[in-house]
Amino acid sequence: MLSLLKDTDYLENKAFESVYEDADEVAKMLFSIVKTSRKTDN
């Protein structure tokens, strides 16, 4: 989705990079939470 906004020039490259980095960090945190919660459920 973010790539589409950048490719259609809705977001400037600098803004895209900033938002993308933040989104990537959030995704990593969420994946870690899900992974940990699955371990504790078993």
Is the dihedral angle over the CA atoms 32, 3, 5, 15 positive or is it negative? positive
pLDDT of 1 reads: 87
Residue ranges of domains in the chain: 2-41
pLDDT of 33 reads: 95
pLDDT tens by residue, 1-36: 889 999 999 999 999 999 999 999 999 999 999 999
Instruction: Please provide residue 8's backbone torsions phi and psi, each rounded to the nearest 5 degrees.
Output: -95, 10
pLDDT of 5 reads: 93
Whole-structure pTM value: 0.66
Residues 6+ apart with CB under 8 A from 19: 2, 11
Instruction: Please provide residue 10's backbone torsions phi and psi, each rounded to the nearest 5 degrees.
Output: -75, -35
Is the pLDDT at 39 greater than 90? The verdict is: no
Is the pLDDT at 42 greater than 70? The verdict is: no
pLDDT of 35 reads: 93
- H or E segment to which residue 39 belongs: helix 13-41
